[in-house]
């Protein structure tokens, strides 16, 4: 199940007619990758992040499991991104917003992504987009003002 925030982002993209293709096949591919970002890629990364926040070092087997799961997911994503600029279509879509968010917020230790140069390059390419930077800057200014 896509999280509420992700569902809202996908809904707004569809309603605005931007960041999602108008053809059914393209839209289906984007929705597929929205689900993949939130339900396949995020769980092991989020689990690892929470474990690292809370563990006292005695959870070696749990961490090993989560790292293995994350590596399996990142290996598959690396393979998928070979010869692609974006995850779902030839152009940047809402799926890239969600996937980039998961990759940028879920990976705190760069050693985890180091074996996956295609995934790292994809993440960095999406984060370098001027619109991404403007949006994050506006968000940070609003949060810091409050």
pLDDT in tens, 51-97: 888 877 778 899 899 999 999 999 999 999 999 999 999 999 989 99
Distance (Å, whole) CA 129 – CA 145: 24
- pLDDT of 1 reads 42
Over range 90-117, report the average pLDDT: 91
Indicate the Cα dihedral angle 65, 63, 34, 80, nearest 10°: -60
What band does 3 get if pLDDT is binned at 50, 70 and 90?
low
Question: Which domains occur in the chain, in start order?
Answer: 4-145 (1.20.1050.10)
pTM: 0.86
The sign one gets for the Cα dihedral 19, 21, 24, 27 is: negative
Taking only the tens place, the pLDDT of each residue in 9-64 is: 777 777 777 788 889 999 999 999 999 999 999 999 999 998 888 877 778 899 89
Per-residue pLDDT at 100 exceeds 90: yes
């Amino acid at each position: 199940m896509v999280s509420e925030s992700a569902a809202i982002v996908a809904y707004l993209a569809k309603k605005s007619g931007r960041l999602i293709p108008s053809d059914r096949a393209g839209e289906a591919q984007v929705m597929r990758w929205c689900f993949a970002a939130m339900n396949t890629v995020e769980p092991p990364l989020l689990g690892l992040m929470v474990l690292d926040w809370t563990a006292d070092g005695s959870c070696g087997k749990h961490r090993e499991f989560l790292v293995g799961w994350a590596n399996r997911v990142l290996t598959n994503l690396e393979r998928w991104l070979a010869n692609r600029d974006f995850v779902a279509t030839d152009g940047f879509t809402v799926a890239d917003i969600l996937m980039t968010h998961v990759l940028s917020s879920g990976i705190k230790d760069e050693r985890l992504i180091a074996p996956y140069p295609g995934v790292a390059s994809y993440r960095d390419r999406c984060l370098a987009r001027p619109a991404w930077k403007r949006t994050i800057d506006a968000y940070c200014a609003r949060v810091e003002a409050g």
